Chains A and B, each alone.
Chain A
Amino acid sequence: MSKRKKKGSGDSRASGDGPRIGVFVCNCGTNIAGFMDTEDVAGYSATLPNVVFVRENLYSCSEAGVNDIKQAIIDNKLDRVVVAACTPRTHEPTFRAACKDAGLNPYHFEFVNIREHCSWVHKEDRDLATLKARDLIRMGVARSAYLEPMEPIIGNVVERALVVGGGISGMTAALELAARGFEVVLIERQKHLGGLVKSLYEIYPWGEKAADYINGLASRVERNSKIRVLKACEVTDVRGYVGKYEVTVSSGDETVVAGIIVVATGARPLLPEGMFGHDSRRVITMLELEAMLLRSRSRRKKVVLMGCAGARIPGRFYCSRICCMTAIKNAIIMRKKWKADVTVLYRDLMCYGVQNETMLVDAKKAGVRFINYSLENPPVIEKDTVTVSSEILGRDLKVPVDLLVLSTPLVPQDTNVALSKILKVPVDEYGFFLEAHVKLRPLDFATDGIFVCGTARWPASIRECLEQAIGAASRASTYLARGEVEVEPIVSVIDEEECRGCGLCVALCPYGAIELIDTEKGKKARTIDVACKGCGTCGATCYRHAIRMKHYSDEQLGAQIRAAFVKDP
């Protein structure tokens, strides 16, 4: 990591007559300019107090746009930069870096979101959107005048990783981290490593016996001197922050200290209790079929595999991604092993990619029958037949059956919600873990130093789980290899003179980031900078007003609020 402290990263407020603010209004193609008059907005910005430079850009985040900002800072001696564009989640780092490159403290940058907060939500009224963008920019400009320079906080990173979950993803992540030379603690809830894959027969698309693969992986994990495995053990509490997470585990009083955490808790197939006559004998789940294939004695001759059993229905409106291929894989196996008649009932066949589609074609060649059904007319299951209303043929088909296999979707682990609260990371509406950015940061959480991979995130094939696990190890390594971490300096600052040491803030801080210390003047609260997330809970509750939030101070927010109510000229 570069530790360069560029010139100008100190206080660069103009010594003259107040701040020199530059405003950059982004068109974002039509994303913004399509729904408001950005030229008007830019023109208006130029009339705001202390604004000495305004530029409208097609794409402010492009290299040309960023260079333009840098040049404008230098040419116009700007000491505050306001970009009115999109969400800070994606491009705040881009623009902060531009400020830094041009010699401005990166915290002298103010982001005004006129896309998500304006153009995208006011598509139907161009004039009002334009007015609102003016308001938002006026508020941002007002706040920017009060911005203060800050330096990032540097913390140390404990060179140890905690991997939660000892299935295929967790074990793979652990091995990859160990290969980079880092210590790993792997926690598994069950008594054995292996997870869901342990119960499978063969792995698609390459046909290896699942037990061989997973046992091989488990023994490599157990033999690896860098990896400590804690079995029959769960995470019960996590304190701390990126670089130094203190993790309490259920096995005893021990606390595991780790620099980063990888969440690989997997998923489980939905149990079809009461659905489609499930009885675990004639009507079974796909997982029960895998067990049947493993036992190899039992044979059936008339097998029907039913897709989307409990998936893509109201209330569980997602596709579980892997069930079609699992069904097709097992259909081919049953054709070969049992010489059975195999019919697959499906709504859409989700054989995306090369290998999956190839497998589908192979299944058809092997004589597997495929019958399409619709959500509105699900198959009717009777003792010896399944009646399918085929959309394509426009009539009912009676398929004889002596084994009905339900492809139930993968559903999130029941423990996900509890774990998400312990780790302070989100889950989605279904209970799968929610990554920092669904497209661009699939393996990161928004919380620094915590990563996710495998089916804990979303249903995934084994190959995809492996890719994600190796990828998560890569993401985690970026912290572990550096040995130190830069943390946002947006933290609370406690005025010890004012603080009475009541401890209310200590009790309320959701991150354990405030401690009470003994001083000559009695107990005083103090913020642990690296742990503080800048949420502001402490500041809002301190009855002595002894706590100030950096970057969101009363002066800054006050100016922003006052500007909201200024009458637009």
Chain B
Amino acid sequence: MLAYSEVEGLSRKSGGFTLKVRRKARYVDEEICNACGDCLEKCPGRAKDTFDMGLRQRKAIYLYFSQGIPAVMTIDPEACIYLKKGKCGVCKKRCDKGAIDFEMKDEILSLDVGSVIIATGLDIFEPGDLTYYGYGKIKNVITGLQYERLINATGPTGGHLYRPSDQKLAKTVAYVQCVGSRDLNYCSYCSSVCCMCSIKDAMLAREHDPESVSYIFHTDLRNVGKGFQKYEKRAAEEYGVQYVRGRVAEIGEDDEGNPIVLYEDTRQRKVESLKVEMVVLATAATASRGSRELAKMLRVKADKYGFITTRNDQPADTNVKGIFACGFCKGPCDIPEAVSQSSAAAQRAASHVLRSVGAGASKA
């Protein structure tokens, strides 16, 4: 397993490919480090915690997240004082196992493989451009993934919905669907998973706080998976989730930092506004950053959104023989679909490799 590594090039060779892989320097020896955390204590470097969606700071030496694999520390060279100025090295002094290695360099590996599976997943659409939703200006307007960190026990608030502006417990939360999705100016497709995700988030809020009230502003509620319709109903009946059909036009803010949601309820045919304590934007999911470059490097086709195109009649296969794709990199999908697709890609890759081996053997 090569974590913290990126593909930088691919060339064909007989029977397969040669991949050029950059194994980025962690400045920590993976074999030695056991993630005990001694190094963290006195580290003076600071950076935004990207896993916590920027909701808190982390040290320059860090564990990406607590269940991460491999469980080893990494030094962020942008934030590490020693790597930038040549002074400090506290972590090295603290680590009695001698796992810290400031001299570590990126390694370039050359891997001979019979087949390649692309499974680069997704990134989240940055909603800052939709200025009418106030993301980045109104503190209590956050994204769905930021919410996931807030409600998570390992997150910055220990699982409590303390809103960013004043750390007050948010009791009324509005979920705004299709932020960037189904929007001809941004992602004109449907991101598939956000309806269920917001319902789940709203139910979690109620589980954490029996007084919590949630509003989900939606267009079509696209809950098409196994058991999803029942889930949607259960959220309304047992968790007090209120569904409002209508696209939110604008989000404002009152003096106390409460977001005010302006919307048209298309069922009541009325323009209304609603004061809530926090807004969660169900942002579009996009092809992961760099997927276009990756597609170009591997010479596989991608659609205009950067999703890898696969054959309709052979949905794990790209246009390049021996290169397969699965999961969100092909387009929005939920977990069981992604798992099914990954099995399919594994099957196609295995068949391909076995055929190449067979062909090689018969030639020899």
Expressed in whole angstroms, the Cα–Cα distance for A359 and B152 within the complex equals 37
Expressed in whole angstroms, the Cα–Cα distance for A516 and B223 within the complex equals 52
| Least Cβ–Cβ distance between B206 and chain A, in angstroms | 11
| Least Cβ–Cβ distance between A78 and chain B, in angstroms | 19
Q: A30-B159, A391-B266, A392-B266 are in contact. Are A354 and B305 (CB under 8 A)?
A: yes
- Contact, CB under 8 Å: B220 / A349: yes
Residues in A4-36 with C-beta less than 8 Å from chain B:
27, 29-31, 33-34
- Contact, CB under 8 Å: B339 / A474: no
Of the residues A33, A123, A354, A357, contact of B303 by C-beta under 8 Å: A354
A438 at the interface (CB under 8 A from B): yes
Expressed in whole angstroms, the Cα–Cα distance for A27 and B67 within the complex equals 13
| Least Cβ–Cβ distance between B130 and chain A, in angstroms | 19
Q: A352-B190, A468-B340 are in contact. Are A30 and B354 (CB under 8 A)?
A: no
A105 at the interface (CB under 8 A from B): no
- Contact, CB under 8 Å: A312 / B229: yes
Residue from B154, B229, B347 whose CB has the most chain A CB atoms within 10 Å: B347
Expressed in whole angstroms, the Cα–Cα distance for A354 and B346 within the complex equals 23
Q: A176-B347, A475-B343 are in contact. Are A467 and B337 (CB under 8 A)?
A: yes
- Contact, CB under 8 Å: A353 / B331: yes
| Least Cβ–Cβ distance between B61 and chain A, in angstroms | 16
| Least Cβ–Cβ distance between A355 and chain B, in angstroms | 7
Taking CB as reference atom, which chain A residue is nearest B70?
A63
B315 at the interface (CB under 8 A from A): yes
Of the residues A352, A440, A477, contact of B339 by C-beta under 8 Å: A440
Interface window among B93-101, B273-281, B289-297, B306-314: B306-314
Interface string of B65-79 (1 = CB under 8 A from A): 011111100000000
A62 at the interface (CB under 8 A from B): yes
Complex interface: chain A residues within 8 A of B269 (CB): 392-394
Residue from B71, B153, B314, B355 whose CB has the most chain A CB atoms within 10 Å: B153
- Contact, CB under 8 Å: B190 / A353: yes
A319 at the interface (CB under 8 A from B): yes
Taking CB as reference atom, which chain B residue is nearest A204?
B312
Taking CB as reference atom, which chain B residue is nearest A463?
B315
- Contact, CB under 8 Å: A67 / B267: no
Interface string of A208-225 (1 = CB under 8 A from B): 100001000000000000
- Contact, CB under 8 Å: B189 / A441: no
| Least Cβ–Cβ distance between B97 and chain A, in angstroms | 14
- Contact, CB under 8 Å: A354 / B229: no
Expressed in whole angstroms, the Cα–Cα distance for A357 and B220 within the complex equals 12
Instruction: Report the contact-size class of chain B (Cβ under 8 Å from the partner).
Output: 35 or more
Taking CB as reference atom, which chain B residue is nearest A61?
B67
Of the residues B68, B153, B340, contact of A467 by C-beta under 8 Å: B340
- Contact, CB under 8 Å: A357 / B190: yes
Complex interface: chain B residues within 8 A of A59 (CB): 66-67, 154
| Least Cβ–Cβ distance between B29 and chain A, in angstroms | 16
Complex interface: chain A residues within 8 A of B332 (CB): 352-354
Of the residues A180, A348, A443, contact of B350 by C-beta under 8 Å: A180
Of the residues B68, B227, B229, B351, contact of A180 by C-beta under 8 Å: B351
Residues in A445-483 with C-beta less than 8 Å from chain B:
453, 457-458, 463-464, 466-468, 470-475, 477
Complex interface: chain B residues within 8 A of A463 (CB): 312, 315
| Least Cβ–Cβ distance between A28 and chain B, in angstroms | 8
A537 at the interface (CB under 8 A from B): no
B333 at the interface (CB under 8 A from A): yes
Of the residues A357, A453, A466, A477, contact of B313 by C-beta under 8 Å: A466
Q: A29-B153, A354-B331 are in contact. Are A319 and B315 (CB under 8 A)?
A: no
Interface string of B343-357 (1 = CB under 8 A from A): 110111011001100
Of the residues B159, B223, B267, B339, contact of A442 by C-beta under 8 Å: B339
B19 at the interface (CB under 8 A from A): no
Expressed in whole angstroms, the Cα–Cα distance for A467 and B337 within the complex equals 8
Expressed in whole angstroms, the Cα–Cα distance for A474 and B349 within the complex equals 10
- Contact, CB under 8 Å: B67 / A62: yes
Expressed in whole angstroms, the Cα–Cα distance for A29 and B66 within the complex equals 11
Complex interface: chain A residues within 8 A of B71 (CB): 62-64, 67
Expressed in whole angstroms, the Cα–Cα distance for A355 and B316 within the complex equals 16
Complex interface: chain A residues within 8 A of B92 (CB): none
Residue from A31, A63, A394, A470 whose CB has the most chain B CB atoms within 10 Å: A470
Residue from A27, A352, A443, A471 whose CB has the most chain B CB atoms within 10 Å: A352
Expressed in whole angstroms, the Cα–Cα distance for A439 and B70 within the complex equals 24
Residues in B97-156 with C-beta less than 8 Å from chain A:
152-154
Complex interface: chain B residues within 8 A of A357 (CB): 182, 188-190
- Contact, CB under 8 Å: A474 / B315: no
Residue from B152, B159, B315 whose CB has the most chain A CB atoms within 10 Å: B315
Complex interface: chain A residues within 8 A of B337 (CB): 442, 464, 467
B221 at the interface (CB under 8 A from A): yes
Residues in B207-264 with C-beta less than 8 Å from chain A:
207-208, 220-230, 233, 245
Q: A350-B224, A353-B189 are in contact. Are A317 and B340 (CB under 8 A)?
A: no
Interface size on A, residues (CB 8 A): 67
Q: A62-B66, A352-B332, A354-B331 are in contact. Are A471 and B190 (CB under 8 A)?
A: no
| Least Cβ–Cβ distance between A535 and chain B, in angstroms | 27
Residues in A101-153 with C-beta less than 8 Å from chain B:
123
Expressed in whole angstroms, the Cα–Cα distance for A443 and B66 within the complex equals 30
Complex interface: chain B residues within 8 A of A205 (CB): 312
B361 at the interface (CB under 8 A from A): no
Expressed in whole angstroms, the Cα–Cα distance for A59 and B71 within the complex equals 13
- Contact, CB under 8 Å: A470 / B343: yes
- Contact, CB under 8 Å: A29 / B152: yes
Interface string of A542-564 (1 = CB under 8 A from B): 00000000000000000000000
Interface string of A382-405 (1 = CB under 8 A from B): 000000000111100000000000
Taking CB as reference atom, which chain B residue is nearest A207?
B312
Of the residues A61, A356, A466, contact of B314 by C-beta under 8 Å: A466
Taking CB as reference atom, which chain B residue is nearest A321?
B224
A361 at the interface (CB under 8 A from B): yes
Q: A354-B305, A391-B266 are in contact. Are A67 and B34 (CB under 8 A)?
A: yes
Taking CB as reference atom, which chain A residue is nearest B267?
A391
Expressed in whole angstroms, the Cα–Cα distance for A464 and B326 within the complex equals 12
Complex interface: chain A residues within 8 A of B207 (CB): 123
Of the residues B35, B153, B222, B335, contact of A350 by C-beta under 8 Å: B222
Taking CB as reference atom, which chain B residue is nearest A459?
B224
Q: A33-B153, A474-B350 are in contact. Are A318 and B192 (CB under 8 A)?
A: no
- Contact, CB under 8 Å: A356 / B190: yes
Expressed in whole angstroms, the Cα–Cα distance for A392 and B267 within the complex equals 6
B198 at the interface (CB under 8 A from A): no
Complex interface: chain A residues within 8 A of B314 (CB): 466
Expressed in whole angstroms, the Cα–Cα distance for A350 and B224 within the complex equals 7
- Contact, CB under 8 Å: B354 / A351: no
Residues in A298-338 with C-beta less than 8 Å from chain B:
312, 317-319, 321
Q: A34-B159, A181-B354, A443-B340 are in contact. Are A353 and B192 (CB under 8 A)?
A: yes
| Least Cβ–Cβ distance between A378 and chain B, in angstroms | 16
- Contact, CB under 8 Å: B224 / A213: no
Complex interface: chain B residues within 8 A of A457 (CB): 226
Complex interface: chain B residues within 8 A of A30 (CB): 153, 159, 208
Complex interface: chain B residues within 8 A of A471 (CB): 339-344, 347
23 A–B contacts, CB within 8 A, in A order: A27-B153, A58-B153, A62-B66, A64-B35, A205-B312, A206-B312, A319-B228, A349-B222, A352-B190, A352-B224, A353-B332, A354-B189, A354-B190, A354-B305, A354-B307, A357-B188, A391-B245, A392-B269, A394-B269, A439-B336, A441-B339, A470-B315, A474-B350
Closest 4 pairs (CB-CB, A-B): A29-B153, A471-B343, A474-B347, A62-B67
Supplied contacts A30-B159, A318-B229, A439-B336, 4 more A-B pairs, CB within 8 Å: A29-B152, A64-B35, A206-B312, A361-B188
Chain B contact residues, CB within 8 Å of chain A: 34-35, 66-71, 152-154, 159, 182, 188-190, 192, 207-208, 220-230, 233, 245, 266-267, 269, 303, 305, 307, 312-316, 331-333, 335-337, 339-344, 346-348, 350-351, 354-355
